[in-house]
Amino acid sequence: MKSEVNNMDLMTKIRKNTATLHSAAEHTGFIKRIVDGHACKDTYAEYLFNLHFMYKAIEETIEKNKDNKVVQEFATTELYKSELIKKDLEFLLGDKLETMELLPSTSTFINRIKEIDNSNSELIVAYAYTRFIADLFGGRTFVALLAVNYKVAAEGLNYYKCDGVKDIRAYVMNYANKINNMNLSVELEAKLINEVSNAYIYNLAISCELEAKLHSN
């Protein structure tokens, strides 16, 4: 059984290891609330505010570590979202943006990204993969949902733009190949697999914390 796992490529190992966490991310917390139609424009904006700082941390760490050959491969600016989300926030929140505060789960996430920046910067790929590839798959469903169910105007939906990716399937396959060709040591590969789980856990925490906060309002 163990040798079966050893023979798998890295992408397959990651997918197998996180299949249940993906299901949890899809079916709990604020994500579930949006899908079920129990959110509103303001609560969506609060979610987006936290996402903005997640993406900013990921993108800045990738850019900062581009001299690392492994990280360099994942400087996929066509997938970067922080600037697009900023536009949405300015449209959705206006002056209210100044008074918003990050969730503690998001601050914890940002601290973890700083630790990665100061240790094994290759591990940032775990976070890039989890957010950017999720956007390619789930993005199109969400944009329709937000426009129809929550009446979010096009000016507030820049996040879902992905003009730089024409063929999503081919792009994701190429991204998976890049992960498979990272050429990490056995020890670092194990850390990366673990870090993808961490990426899901942080995303789950943010989603669940926001949901709990909205319940208590």
Q: Which residues bind ligand HEM (CB under 6 A)?
A: 15, 22, 25-26, 31, 35, 129-130, 133-134, 137-138, 141, 200, 203
- Cβ 200 to ligand HEM shortest distance, Å: 6
> Minimal distance in Å, beta carbon 167 to ligand HEM?
14
Q: How far is the CB of 129 from ligand HEM (least distance, A)?
A: 6
Closest contact distance (angstroms) between CB of 77 and ligand HEM is: 19
In this structure, what is the dihedral angle of CA atoms 130, 32, 36, 216, given to the nearest 10 degrees? -140
Least CB distance from residue 24 to ligand HEM, whole Å?
A: 9
The smaller minimum CB distance to ligand HEM, of residues 97 and 150, is found at 150
Q: Which C-beta is closer to ligand HEM: that of 26 or that of 90?
A: 26
| CB of 31 or CB of 45, closer to ligand HEM | 31
CB-nearer residue toward ligand HEM: 11 or 188: 11
What is the spatial distance between Cα 189 and Cα 182, in angstroms, rounded to a whole number?
A: 9
Q: Which is nearer to ligand HEM, 141 or 183 (CB)?
A: 141
Write a three-state SS string for the chain. Answer: CHHHHHHCCHHHHHHHHHHHHHHHHHHCHHHHHHHHCCCCHHHHHHHHHHHHHHHHHHHHHHHHCCCCHHHHCCCCHHHCCHHHHHHHHHHHHHHHHHHCCCCHHHHHHHHHHHHHHCCCHHHHHHHHHHHHHHHHHHHHHHHHHHHHHCCCCHHHCHHHCCCCCCCHHHHHHHHHHHHHCCCCCHHHHHHHHHHHHHHHHHHHHHHHHHHHHHHHC
Q: Which of 52, 79, 48, 84 is nearest to 63 (CA)?
A: 79
Least spacing, CB of residue 99 vs ligand HEM, in Å: 27
CB 150 within 8 A of CB 40: yes
Residue nearest to ligand HEM as judged by C-beta position? 134
Of 70 and 202, nearer to ligand HEM (C-beta) is: 202
